[in-house]
Amino acid sequence: MVDREKVHALVREAKSESLEEKDILINTLHKVQDYFGNYIPVEAAEIVAEELVVPKSKVYEVLTFYTMFSTKPRGKYVIRVCVNLPCHVTGGREIVQTLKELLGVQFGETTKDGLFTLETTSCLGLCGVAPVIMINDQYYGDLTPKKVKELIENLRSGGDAR
Amino acid sequence: MKPMLVLVSVDSNSVLLGAKHFVNYLKDLIGKYGLQDTVDVLETGTMGVYTQGVVMAIFPDDVYYSVRSTEDVEKIVTEHLLKGRSVLSLEIPKDRLKLVVEKEKVSAETRIVLRNVGSIDPRSIDEYIARDGYFALHKVLSEMRPQQVLECVKASGLRGRGGAGFPTGLKWEFTAKVQADQKYVVCNADEGEPGTFKDRLIMEGDPHSVIEAMTICGYAVGATKGYIYIRGEYYGSVDNIQKAIKDAYEYGFLGKDIMGSGFDFDLTVRLGAGAYICGEETALLESIEGKSGRPRLKPPYPPTNGLFGKPTVINNVETFANIPQIILNGPEWFKSFGTAGSPGTKVYSLVGNVVRRGIVEVPMGTTVRDLIYRFGGGLVGGKDLYMVQTGGTAGTFIGIDKLDAPLDYDSFKNYGVSIGSGVILAMSDEVCPVDVALNTMQFFAHESCGKCTPCREGTRLAVQILERMSKGQGKLEDLETLKQIAYVTQEASLCGLGQSINVPLLSIVENFRNDFIEHLKASSCPHGVCEFIKIQKSKVKT
């Protein structure tokens, strides 16, 4: 059940940061998604639509347009792999392969245990230490298949995403 | 002030190499050895290089170390800080530290954009002020009329650093000339061009320079509100910019009646949410307005019809970061750097297979060769350079025959080498041009917003063809089809994304035509990258 009061509070918080009436939808969605972990429940999106006086369809359109938002719950750890050229040519191909093999999922899928969701991302601007991945809000750079393996094993055995 | 100072790079790239951890360890050791009254530790932005570890600089000795482990930190504390002996094994020779190289060559003043990055604590407004920060804003508000500010920026010849190179002063003037009840200043910090991370490091290392410049711009064009649109993934930049905005409000450099001048300017941050297309200026405006980031039909252009339909100046982070220095030192000073058509400096991101990946600020007109060999230290493992992508994913692919092209906003026209957002992605002969082309077109297919057909379908078709080629199933006529796709998407697309696809696609197909042909003829990938899949004969017949 979605805590309506909390969502209302988040919308109010976002509203306090606005310079113009309509400039706050995406920042609001960020706040709501951060609160729910890694997705925005339908009920919460509806509250945002009501509070900001925008049609629900528009909120849904925005939610599905931007890759950082999700309307469905994702795994406990969302792994975003940079697939752009600067990572691709510095060992990124091997990182992608390793992750797919280790997790047994393709991009956009979540592991059966609900632990990992594998996603692609565009350049994260950390090309000085490529190849790079993100796990939730943490970055990991200078990766090798061995390091990736250690990372995943650590998370599987209950470790923290550093 | 304490007699010794240790500066540590803790920008986002360095953090991944353990910078935060090393700083904490360093502070612990300083306490343990009772050095807390002698040694200050300061966290600063990037010092430019990464591949050797986290950079720590010790002053007044002016010694630079690269640190890879806590043992290294321990050595520096017990040897250098306690006994005054340099740790030779960890020292970075001066000539290998890119930023220092530049100082020796043309004096420190060539660092215009990065002058404070890696030197000050970016979270301290006082340190920025101590380096003449907000002096330009004061000068503008107390001595100059808006028209004079416009003249100064116009005379400097500064061109937009986002990639298109449009004259900044002209853009400002368009907005200034329009009468409107509300105007806006927007900073495009939606840095998404793959390989580019200069804006991130500017915002992390010197956030106030952007804020000061936007306020100056607001005064010049008559805007009272500003937005900084930052990529949602850039946590470090968002943090530092938000802290800087808060401090600027407290010091009276933002808000009502700035410095007693009667000029008001409000500034706030908006986050992106993972869409490359939002780097396109009208898509970015749509996004601030709370919509999907789909580009608008142009004209009208943002300087007259921008955010909420009002006149809006949009500039890149690096463009803004130039402004305070131009105001303080004058347009003639600025024009003394760089080339006649593109004055000033450019911050490049050196990435890929170079030895020293990182960012470097050099005058416009520097050659690709210098960037890769002099500043980047050549290729990892002494491998041979095979191809270079300049300017980002929407930039050009060149072979080693074009390394001596001096980069500026005219080098695409003159040499077929684009400067774009300043990416220099060096690739060794272990990459395959077909695979590189495929990766590039996959990027565009993914990031195409889908609003217009040529871009949506053109990118998809190009991916299909290149996928076939990479599996060893290509045909010679595919090369012509790829060229056709490039022309059509360029001519018929709505916005800069689709219109620029021809640049990478044509340059790779033309400059590496022989590679593509060899790839078609070969029975396995000549570079050992692509996996060929034989078509079963029965399928061919049907």
Do residues B400 and B442 both lie within one domain? Answer: no
Which residue has tokens 């988040």?
Answer: A10
Last residue in a domain, options B396, B427, B458 = B427
- Contact list in B for residue A124 (CB cut-off 8 A) is 233
For B444-475, what is each residue's pLDDT tens digit?
A: 999 998 889 999 999 999 999 999 999 999 99
Do residues B417 and B437 both lie within one domain? Answer: no
Instruction: Provide mean pLDDT across the span A19-43.
Output: 93
Task: Please report the pLDDT score of residue B440 as a whole number.
Answer: 97
A42 pLDDT more than 60: yes
Do residues B394 and B441 both lie within one domain? Answer: no
Do residues B309 and B448 both lie within one domain? Answer: no
Task: Please report the pLDDT score of residue B537 as a whole number.
Answer: 56
Q: CA-CA distance, A70 to A82, in Å (whole number)?
A: 18
Task: Please report the pLDDT score of residue B109 as a whole number.
Answer: 36
Coil vs helix vs strand at B26: helix
- Contact list in A for residue B234 (CB cut-off 8 A) is 125
Pick from A21-35, A48-62, A146-160, B89-103: least confident: B89-103
Do residues B71 and B149 both lie within one domain? Answer: no
Do residues B447 and B391 both lie within one domain? Answer: no
Task: Please report the pLDDT score of residue B62 as a whole number.
Answer: 86
Which residue has tokens 């490529």?
Answer: A130
The domain that holds B329 is classified in CATH as: 3.40.50.11540
- Contact list in A for residue B393 (CB cut-off 8 A) is 84-85
Nearest-Cα distance to chain A for B216, in Å, is 19
Would the CB atoms of A125 and B200 count as touching at under 8 Å? yes
Cβ proximity of B205 and B11 under 8 Å: yes
Do residues B497 and B515 both lie within one domain? Answer: yes
Structural domain count, chain B: 4
Question: How many separate helices (H) and strands (E) can be counted in chain B?
Answer: 24, 13
B180 pLDDT more than 70: yes
Spatial CA neighbour of B390 closest among B411, B414, B359, B373? B411
Task: Please report the pLDDT score of residue B318 as a whole number.
Answer: 97
**Shortest CA distance from B353: residue in chain A:** A90
Do residues B238 and B281 both lie within one domain? Answer: yes
Nearest-Cα distance to chain A for B38, in Å, is 33
For B258-276, what is each residue's pLDDT tens digit?
A: 999 999 999 999 999 999 9
Candidate from B191, B275, B289 with C-beta closest to A23: B289
Do residues B476 and B511 both lie within one domain? Answer: yes
Spatial CA neighbour of B271 closest among A26, A13, A33? A26
Nearest-Cα distance to chain A for B333, in Å, is 31
B98 pLDDT more than 60: no
Task: Please report the pLDDT score of residue B51 as a whole number.
Answer: 65
Which residues constitute the domain of residue B372? 345-427
Task: Please report the pLDDT score of residue B541 as a whole number.
Answer: 45
Instruction: Provide mean pLDDT across the span B404-427.
Output: 96
Calculate the average pLDDT of chain A: 93
Predicted structure pTM score: 0.91
Last residue in a domain, options B310, B335, B360 = B335
Task: Please report the pLDDT score of residue B69 as a whole number.
Answer: 93
Would the CB atoms of B271 and A142 count as touching at under 8 Å? no
Would the CB atoms of B16 and A127 count as touching at under 8 Å? no
Candidates B24, B49, B50, B277: best to mutate against A (most CBs of A within 10 A) is B50
Q: Does A121 touch chain B (CB under 8 A)?
A: yes
For A120-148, what is each residue's pLDDT tens digit?
A: 998 999 999 999 999 998 999 999 999 99
Task: Please report the pLDDT score of residue B384 as a whole number.
Answer: 94
Last residue in a domain, options B42, B76, B96 = B96
A55 pLDDT more than 50: yes
- Contact list in A for residue B352 (CB cut-off 8 A) is 85-86, 89-90
Nearest-Cα distance to chain A for B13, in Å, is 6
Tokens describing residue B359: 């960012």
Would you list the domain boundaries of chain A? 4-65, 77-156
Q: CA-CA distance, B198 to B196, in Å (whole number)?
A: 6
Cβ proximity of B421 and B279 under 8 Å: no
* Percent over 90 (pLDDT), chain B: 81
Task: Please report the pLDDT score of residue B525 as a whole number.
Answer: 95
- Contact list in B for residue A23 (CB cut-off 8 A) is 227, 270, 288-290
Do residues B243 and B131 both lie within one domain? Answer: yes
Would the CB atoms of A141 and B273 count as touching at under 8 Å? no
Domain-embedded: residue B442: yes
Q: Which of residues 27-66 of A touch B (CB under 8 A)?
A: 27, 29-30, 52, 54, 58, 61-62, 65-66
Task: Please report the pLDDT score of residue A158 as a whole number.
Answer: 83
Q: Which of residues 74-103 of A touch B (CB under 8 A)?
A: 83-86, 88-90
Domain-embedded: residue B538: no
Running DSSP on this structure, what letter comes out for residue B83? Answer: H
E strand or H helix at B363, and its extent?
A: strand B358-363
Task: Please report the pLDDT score of residue B95 as a whole number.
Answer: 62
Task: Please report the pLDDT score of residue B99 as a whole number.
Answer: 47
DSSP string covering B147-182, please? HHHHHHHHHHT-B-TTTT--BHHHHHHHHHHS--S-
Do residues B197 and B173 both lie within one domain? Answer: yes
Do residues B267 and B370 both lie within one domain? Answer: no
Cβ proximity of B347 and B318 under 8 Å: yes
The domain that holds B478 is classified in CATH as: 1.20.1440.230
Task: Please report the pLDDT score of residue B74 as a whole number.
Answer: 94
Q: How far is CA B127 from the centre of its chain?
A: 24
**Which value, in Å, is the radius of gyration of the alpha carbons in chain B?**
25
Task: Please report the pLDDT score of residue B100 as a whole number.
Answer: 39
A77-156 classified as CATH 3.40.30.10: yes
